[in-house]
Amino acid sequence: MQENGQKKKVLYSAVQPSGDLTIGNYLGAIKNWVDLQHDYECFYAMADMHAITIRQDPATLRRKTRELAALYIACGVDPAACALYVQSNVSCHAELAWVLNTLTYVGEMERMTQFKDKSARHADNINMGLMDYPVLMAADILLYQTDVVPVGVDQRQHLEITRDIAIRFNNRYSPTFTVPEAVIMQTGAKINSLQDPTKKMSKSDENPNASVYMSDDRDTVLRKFRRAVTDSESSVRFDPETKPGVSNLLTIYSVFAGKSIAEAEREFDGKGYGDFKAAVGEVVADALTPIRSEQERILADKDYLDGVLAAGAEKAYRTARSTLSKVYRKIGFYRPGK
């Protein structure tokens, strides 16, 4: 793609179709995708291969994959402006991951924060896929000669190992991969739990009041914000160290309302926490209602959604196959007639 005679930089991002997405996933990922899709050549995926490192019900995984794709579009991702596809529909991801495994060391994988965290939470299922997760992620990114990857502050470790693997391959076999850079999303990049605002909002949180899901109806959204943890003071001001709950709510409000933190602070100056939490709930509910309605409309049109994902996979495959062919040639894999 060209814009003003300049080739667009490539951007890659993906979300797992497991569990229900939270507003944290939306603000930290999908909303940014919409903002970035016309400035970059974008590849956006449903990362179902990553999802199976934790045991999944097959029927649920298929359903969640379709729901996630429909949610992308309902949030404003334009299939005509990017490659929107299901990760497992492009076999190059798994093929490149195997090659990259031979350049990655066990010690590196054992030090990865996500492996340690998930191993602790799923002690009965510490599988090799769980350990190898960052290598598959590196393959995801490097397949598309990705220039930039939008990441939250807690995902930088994965991009660093991707960069290390790319540099290692380039040094051993000659320049092949673009070494990607991070685009750190500042505002809204990390949305915390409504019940424990020192922790990130998670779609796997056992406390149903801790996370606001994209699928929550209006009454549920309002109720969860009414129950959100604040503090014993009464002032609405941004101070993550001493007022993590209020600061988290201010972040959520500012992004959904399209205002700066300072503007939000002024708006609620002198108002109590009850009014503040109600206002945050209202602005979030107002934003989610049309998205949920559009998602349902898209899901009802199976032919349309299947067509979008097939076209996206075809586009992604063309780019991925080109990269993989270069890799296979450089490492010495024999191809008849070549």
Q: Which of 31, 64, 118, 243 is catalytic?
A: 118
200 classed as catalytic:
yes
C-beta separation of 215 from 291 below 8 A: no
302 classed as catalytic:
no
- Alpha-carbon span 162 to 140, nearest angstrom: 10
User: Which residues have CB under 8 Å from 124's CB, separation 6+?
Assistant: none
The SS3 of residue 333 is coil
For 41-103, the DSSP string reads: EEEEEE-HHHHTTS---HHHHHHHHHHHHHHHHHTT--TTTEEEEEGGGSTHHHHHHHHHHTT
- Strand 82-86: give its sheet, edge to edge: 82-86, 41-46, 10-15, 148-151, 181-184
224 classed as catalytic:
no
Per-residue pLDDT tens digits for 146-194: 999 987 666 777 789 999 999 999 999 999 999 999 987 655 557 999 9
Q: Which of 8, 9, 203, 259 is catalytic?
A: 203
Can you tell me the mean pLDDT for 101-130?
75
Identify the pLDDT of residue 2: 53
Per-residue pLDDT tens digits for 57-67: 999 999 999 99
Question: Which domains occur in the chain, in start order?
Answer: 2-184+301-331 (3.40.50.620), 218-296 (1.10.240.10)
Give the number of other CB atoms < 10 A from CB of residue 269. 10
* pTM of the entire predicted model: 0.88
Q: Which of 190, 200, 224, 277 is catalytic?
A: 200
